[in-house]
Amino acid sequence: MENRDCHLAFAIVNRPNMNWTIIIIAFAVLAGFYLLKRMSFVSEEIARQHLANGALVIDVRSPEEFQSGNVPNAINIPLGELKEKLPDRVKDKNQVLLLHCLSGGRSGIAQQQLKAMGYSNVFNLGSFSRAREIVAGTKSS
């Protein structure tokens, strides 16, 4: 009996180590996801070059989000309406398009959709705040 109790006590004492392992793995996965997401954003330098050469900024947020604040000269076409409305607004599939949303997630989805539709120069600016800073010419943090 005494040996069994010892094993039970050992298992209970070592259990917190397992919890820390799970926390560390979860943190690593989230950090990796964040870094991959950031790597999919166009660089500030390239985005500014495209803007100087006539790129269009497309905001894929909802009209309500757009009305609460927007990037100057951005065109608001919500993600759910992009496939129907963008071809009417942008006939040239070689036109450079810089997409953004609130966090960069919806604009990433929009980028994939537009590439599948044949638009060849589609870039994800990322979040609204990052897009605003790039268009305004300030350094993003």
3: in domain? yes
| Residue 101 annotated among the catalytic residues of the structure | yes
93: in domain? yes
Distance CA(80)–CA(8), nearest Å, equals 56
Over 50: is that where the pLDDT of 141 sits? no
Give the CATH number, domain containing residue 97: 3.40.250.10
100-130 burial: b if 16+ Cβ within 10 Å, else e: bbbebebbbebbebbeeeebeebbbbbbbeb
- Kindly report, residue by residue over 12-49, the tens digit of the pLDDT: 555 556 687 787 777 666 665 555 555 579 999 999 99
Q: How many domains does the chain have?
A: 2
87 and 57, same structural domain? yes
Percent of the chain with pLDDT over 90: 68
Angle CA(119)–CA(98)–CA(84) in degrees, nearest 5?
50
17 and 49, same structural domain? no
110 and 130, same structural domain? yes
Over 60: is that where the pLDDT of 8 sits? no
Residue 126 token pair = 């990322």
DSSP states of 48-114: HHHHHTTPEEEE-S-HHHHHH---TT-EE--GGGHHHHHHHH---TTS-EEEE-SSSHHHHHHHHHH
Q: What's the whole-number mean pLDDT along residues 94-99?
A: 98
87 and 50, same structural domain? yes
141: in domain? no
Catalytic residue of the set 101, 114, 122, 135: 101
What does the pLDDT read at residue 139? 53
128 and 83, same structural domain? yes
Range of the domain at 86: 44-136
126 and 63, same structural domain? yes
Over 50: is that where the pLDDT of 140 sits? no
Q: Quick one: how many helices (H) and strands (E) in the chain?
A: 6, 4
96 and 58, same structural domain? yes
Q: What is the mean pLDDT of the chain?
A: 85
- Kindly report, residue by residue over 119-138, the tens digit of the pLDDT: 999 999 999 999 999 999 85
**Which is nearest to 77 in space by CA: 94, 92, 89, 69?**
89
51 and 70, same structural domain? yes
pTM of this structure:
0.73
58 and 123, same structural domain? yes
For residue 19, the Cα-to-chain-centroid distance in whole angstroms is 30
71 and 4, same structural domain? no
115 and 51, same structural domain? yes
